[in-house]
Structure 1
Amino acid sequence: MNDLWWAEDVQRVTVFTGAGISTDSGVPDYRGPQGIWTRDPALADLFTYDNFLADAEVRVRFWQVFAGRQGDVLPNAAHRALAELETGGKALRVLTQNVDGLHQKAGMSPRKVVELHGSLATATCLDCGERTPSAEAIARLPEEPRCACGGLLKPSVVMFGEYLDSDVLSLARRIAAASELFLAVGSSLRVEPAAGLCAVAAEHGARLVVVNRDPTPYDGLAVEVVREPIGTAVPRICAVLAGSGPKRH
């Protein structure tokens, strides 16, 4: 039997991606052996909304950490393989926990990417709601980035203590429920409610496949768990999916 039997004869594919898909691009993950929080557990406090609001030093440090995740970061083989699959005509949607925009940089149609935790591309004023390119905010460091109105600028990402946008989450659940194959790639699957999309997909009959270096809480629901490095696993899976039947028009 083909070891990728679960990638054959499927038309509607959803790929749920976490930080692990971007590590080959030089973007560190959070919980891995070299992850941001593994190397410095105190940094996790920076990602808490209440701490961000309460302390100017926390805000500046938060911006400095995220500034290091910007710059000339390029998509890797996994991002490119997914983009080629989608632009080649496969009915593919990406639900991502990542805020790096690398799926779009790889060439995926922006409307086919649902950014569950927001985007680093912009900052939002907590007073007037105006959005500013993050590069402009980062350029003001080490001074605290502020809006033209004087309000606090916060990267347009979801922090601990904030709710996911209800419309975005509802869309993601509908996509998961309509999937025939749901690939969870490079995520610890420990951050809810996003990780719960795996259960939504499985409950509606999708083949759930987990591609991750470490065990996850959803491995038991999966028809397959792939421990192969993401940079080789995803292109191999995409090659099978590209030949697995009719494409959209």
Structure 2
Amino acid sequence: MDQQAIAQAAELLHHARRIVALTGAGISRPSGIPDFRSDSGLWRADDPMEIASLRGFRANPQRFFRWMRPLLDTIGVAQPNPAHQALAQLELCCKHVAVVTQNIDGLHQRAGSHEALELHGHLRSAVCLECEQQVPATAVLPRVRKGAVPRCSCGGLLKPNVVLFDELLPRGIYWLAERAARTCDVMIIAGTALEVAPACELPLTALDHGAKLIIINQGCTDLDAHAAVVLHEDVAQALPAMLAVLAAPNQRIVGG
């Protein structure tokens, strides 16, 4: 691992007052949750643009839940990894940290992050497509695991509270994410190739308002050339390494 880059990133975090962490599938991969686009991901066997669209869900909810059941089971047993924990612990360094995640697994909250904006929704509940009643996941998952299509007491279909491919992001959540991007001093981009809109626009907003970017991703991104620090490393190793430098009581940080 590039220790100089780790130290540079820690220095940026040391001087920052407001930090945003934009996270993607790569941060949860060490927890055993596959990237949708990986060879073992959900995109390989079926066409998710059809199955996991609102149109496809309404047309064939049984197929949707059959397709999604392995992911539900995987997320159900997944645990936060050192990357999730490092972002939660960053708050203990007297920093205001907002996590903006494209993931639906809830691992940031379980790790202890207090401000986690879930752009693509979550699996803690389902919503009725007819009466809009919210139903806890604990009441829905047993039916899904038995192969049944969950329905509301009114008879309407229950859809997980996730954003499907032909749905818009919740306006309020994205507004909060944009505000966080506009007001941060440093944005950490962790485990995302920045290929999915509109999340990929948030780093540009941060740059336009004077923020520094720290990119941690095993592959390249289109914004690598604009970042203050780039680490093509495992995020579950790089983020804890940064935190260790930042938190070390005898560690000299340049300008500190």
TM-score when scaled to structure 1? 0.89
Give the counterpart letter for 2:42 in structure 1: I
CA distance in 1, matches of 2:86, 2:102: 18
Residue 97 of structure 1, aligned match among 98, 102, 109:
102
Task: Tell me if structure 2 keeps the 8 A contact 1:10–1:241.
Answer: no
Pairwise CA distance, 1:166: 1.2
Residue 36 of structure 2, aligned match among 30, 37, 48:
30
Query: SS state of the match for residue 189, structure 2?
Result: strand
Query: SS state of the match for residue 159, structure 2?
Result: strand
Counterpart for residue 40 of structure 1: 45
Counterpart for residue 169 of structure 1: 174
CA distance in 2, matches of 1:33, 1:181: 33
Counterpart for residue 217 of structure 2: 212
Residues 31 and 200 from structure 1, CA distance in 2 versus in 1: closer, same or farther, beyond 3 angstroms? same
Residues 235 and 33 from structure 1, CA distance in 2 versus in 1: closer, same or farther, beyond 3 angstroms? farther
Give the counterpart letter for 1:119 in structure 2: H
**What's the Cα RMSD here?**
2.1
Give the counterpart letter for 2:195 in structure 1: R
Task: Tell me if structure 1 keeps the 8 A contact 2:105–2:123.
Answer: yes
CA distance in 2, matches of 1:151, 1:212: 41
Which 10-residue stretch deviates more, 86-95 or 156-165? 86-95
CA distance in 1, matches of 2:212, 2:9: 7
Task: Tell me if structure 1 keeps the 8 A contact 2:18–2:184.
Answer: yes
Which 10-residue stretch deviates more, 12-21 or 87-96? 87-96
Counterpart for residue 13 of structure 1: 19
Pairwise CA distance, 1:43: 4.0
Residue 149 of structure 2, aligned match among 136, 139, 144:
144
Pairwise CA distance, 1:228: 1.1
Counterpart for residue 116 of structure 1: 119
Give the counterpart letter for 2:134 in structure 1: R
CA distance in 2, matches of 1:136, 1:66: 18
CA distance in 2, matches of 1:115, 1:76: 18
Query: SS state of the match for residue 164, structure 2?
Result: coil
Residues 220 and 132 from structure 1, CA distance in 2 versus in 1: closer, same or farther, beyond 3 angstroms? same
Task: Tell me if structure 2 keeps the 8 A contact 1:19–1:28.
Answer: yes
Aligned length: 242
- Which runs of structure 2 are paired with 1:152-163 in the superposition (5 Å)? 152-163=157-168
1:62-115 CA-partner distances (Å, limit 9, x unpaired):
442442233221101111111111144322111111111111111122xx1111
Give the counterpart letter for 2:26 in structure 1: G
CA distance in 1, matches of 2:92, 2:109: 11
CA distance in 2, matches of 1:118, 1:171: 14
Query: SS state of the match for residue 85, structure 2?
Result: helix
Counterpart for residue 196 of structure 1: 201
Which 10-residue stretch deviates more, 169-178 or 68-77? 68-77
Pairwise CA distance, 1:187: 1.1
TM-score when scaled to structure 2? 0.87
Identical aligned residues as a percent: 39
CA distance in 1, matches of 2:84, 2:65: 31
